[in-house]
Chains A and B, each alone.
Chain A
Amino acid sequence: MSKIVATAAIRGAQKIVKDAEDFLNKAIAEKGESQKIEFPDTAYYFPMAYALMGVEVKTLGDIKSVLQEAKSLLHNEPTEQIWFPYLGDALDSGVAAILAEEIIVGLRYLYGQEPQPDCVGFFSDTILRQLGIQLVDGRMAGFAAILGAAPDNKTAVEIVREFQKRQILTFVGSSTNGVSIIDQLKQENVEMGWDNYIVPYGRDTITGIYPLNWAIRGALTFGGHKKGEALKCLKYCKDRVFAFGVTLGEIDDIKYATGAGAINMGFPIIADTDIPEILPTGICTYEHLVSELDYKKIVPRCIEVRGVKVKVSEIPIPVAYSAAFEGERIRKTQTYLEAGSRYSTAFEYATMKNTDEIEDGKFEVIGHEIDDVQEGSAVPLGIYVEVAGRKMQKEFESIVERQIHTFLNEAQGIMHTGQRDLIWLRISKEAKSKGFKLKHLGTIIHARVHEVFGAIVDKVRVIIYTKQEDIEKLLPSARESYKFRDERIGAMTDESVDTFYSCTLCQSFAPNHLCIVKPERLGLCGAYNWLDCKASFEINPTGPNQPVKKGTMLDESRGEWQGINDWVKIKSNGHLERFHGYSIMTWPETSCGCFECIGAIVPEANGFMVVNREYSGMTPLGMTFSTLAGSVGGGNQTPGFMGFGRLYITSKKFIKADGGLKRIVWMPKELKEAISGKLKKRSEEEDIPDFLDKIADETIATDTEKLLEFLQKVNHPALTIEPLM
Chain B
Amino acid sequence: MSDSEKSIDLATKEMLGLACNKNICTAFDRHETMEPECGFGQLGICCRNCVMGPCRIDPFGEGPQEGICGATADTIAARNLVRMIAAGAAAHSDHGRDVAHTLLTTSEGKTKGYGIKGKEKLLNLAKELKVKIENRKIEEVAHDVAEKCFAEFGQQHGELQFTRRAPKKRQEIWRKNRFTPRGIDREVVEIMHRTNIGVDNDYQNILQQGIRTSLGDGWGGSMIATDLQDVLFGQPEPVRSVSNLGVLKEDEVNIIVHGHEPTLSDVIVAASQDKELLELAKKYGAKGINLAGICCTANEILMRHGISVAGNFLQQELAVITGAVDLMLVDVQCIMPALGKLATCFHTKIISTSPKAKFPGVEHIEFSEEEALPIAKKIVRMAVENYKNRKKESLNIPKEKMELVAGFTSEYVFKMLGGKYRATYRPLNDAVISGRLRGAVGIVGCNNPKIKHDWAHIELTKELIKNDVLVVTTGCSALASAKAGLLVPEAAKKYAGKGLQEICEAVGIPPVLHMGACVDISRILTTLCNVLTEGGLGEDISDLPVAAAAPEWMSEKAVSIGFYAVASGIFTVLGLPLPVMGGKNLTEYLINSIENTVGGKFAFESDPLKAADLIVKHLDKKREALKLKPMMYGE
Contacts and interface: CB of A to CB of B under 8 A. Distances in A.
A91 B508 contact: no
B427 A283 contact: yes
Given A82-B403, A82-B490, A280 B502 contact: yes
Contacts of A3: 505, 508
A373 interface: no
Nearest to A3: B508
A282 B507 CA distance: 11
A235 B155 CA distance: 42
Given A82-B405, A87-B427, A280 B415 contact: no
A280 B509 CA distance: 14
B421 A280 contact: no
Nearest to A90: B419
Interface string B419-430: 111111011111
A278 to B, nearest CB: 5
Interface string A44-85: 000000001000000000000000000001000010011111
A280 B420 contact: no
A2 interface: yes
Interface string B581-615: 00000000000000000000000000000000000
Interface string A446-490: 000000000000000000000000000000000000000000000
Interface in B363-421: 403-405, 415-421
Q: Which of B419, B423, B436 has the most CB of A within 10 A?
A: B419
Contact of B416 (A81, A88, A278): A88
B426 A283 contact: yes
B416 A87 contact: yes
B482 to A, nearest CB: 12
Interface string A215-252: 00000000000000011001000000000000000000
Contacts of A283: 417-418, 422, 424, 426-427
Interface string B496-534: 000000110111110000000000000000000000000
Interface string A267-293: 000000000001111110000100000
B415 A88 contact: yes
A629 interface: no
Contacts of B429: 282
Given A82-B403, A83-B489, A230 B506 contact: no
Contacts of B423: 231
Contacts of A512: none
B158 to A, nearest CB: 32
Interface string A385-414: 000000000000000000000000000000
A3 B489 CA distance: 11
Contacts of B502: 279-280
Nearest to A260: B419
Given A85-B508, A85-B509, A280 B430 contact: yes
A280 B436 contact: yes
Q: Which of B426, B431, B508 has the most CB of A within 10 A?
A: B508
A234 B421 contact: yes
A89 interface: yes
B419 A82 contact: no
A234 B507 CA distance: 20
Contacts of B489: 82-83
A475 to B, nearest CB: 60
Nearest to B420: A92
Interface string A626-657: 00000000000000000000000000000000
Contacts of B434: 280-281
A1 interface: yes
A1 B428 CA distance: 18
Give the interface residue-count category, chain A: 20 to 34
Contact of A84 (B417, B419, B424, B508): B508
Nearest to B237: A84
B243 to A, nearest CB: 12
Nearest to A289: B506
A87 B417 contact: yes
Interface in A88-146: 88-92, 94-95
A637 B323 CA distance: 78
Contact of B420 (A81, A95, A278, A279): A95
A264 interface: yes
B509 A73 contact: no
B155 to A, nearest CB: 36
Contacts of A264: 419, 421-422
B3 to A, nearest CB: 30
A87 B420 CA distance: 11
Contacts of B508: 2-3, 6, 78, 83-87
Interface in B422-455: 422-424, 426-431, 434, 436
A88 B238 CA distance: 12
B506 A234 contact: no
B419 A281 contact: no
B488 interface: yes
A487 to B, nearest CB: 55
B119 interface: no
Nearest to A230: B421
A73 B423 CA distance: 13
Contacts of B509: 85
A231 B420 CA distance: 9
B240 interface: yes
A3 B505 CA distance: 7
Q: Which of B238, B416, B423 has the most CB of A within 10 A?
A: B416
A88 B426 CA distance: 13
A282 B238 CA distance: 21
A99 to B, nearest CB: 10
A234 B421 CA distance: 8
Interface string A1-14: 11100100000000
Contacts of B417: 87-88, 282-283
B405 A280 contact: no
Contacts of B405: 82, 84
A2 B238 contact: no
B490 A91 contact: no
A88 B419 contact: yes
B167 to A, nearest CB: 21
Contacts of A282: 417-418, 424, 426-431
Contacts of B421: 52, 91-92, 95, 230-231, 234, 264
A414 to B, nearest CB: 44
A557 to B, nearest CB: 46
A91 B417 CA distance: 9
Contacts of A73: 419-420
Contacts of A6: 508
A2 B419 contact: no
B420 A85 contact: no
Contacts of A288: 506
Nearest to A276: B505
A306 to B, nearest CB: 16
Contacts of B416: 85, 87-88
A264 B418 CA distance: 8
Q: Which of A82, A90, A95 has the most CB of B within 10 A?
A: A82
B107 to A, nearest CB: 29
Contacts of A95: 419-421
A220 to B, nearest CB: 16
Contacts of A279: 502, 506
Nearest to B488: A82
Nearest to B407: A84
Q: Which 3 A-B pairs have the closest CB atoms?
A: A282-B427, A91-B419, A86-B508
Given A73-B420, A95-B421, A234-B421, 12 more contacts: A52-B421, A84-B238, A84-B240, A85-B416, A86-B507, A87-B418, A88-B415, A91-B421, A264-B419, A264-B421, A264-B422, A280-B506
Interface of B: 238, 240, 403-405, 415-424, 426-431, 434, 436, 488-490, 502-503, 505-509
13 contacts: A2-B506, A78-B508, A82-B488, A88-B417, A88-B418, A90-B419, A231-B422, A282-B418, A282-B424, A282-B426, A282-B428, A282-B429, A283-B418
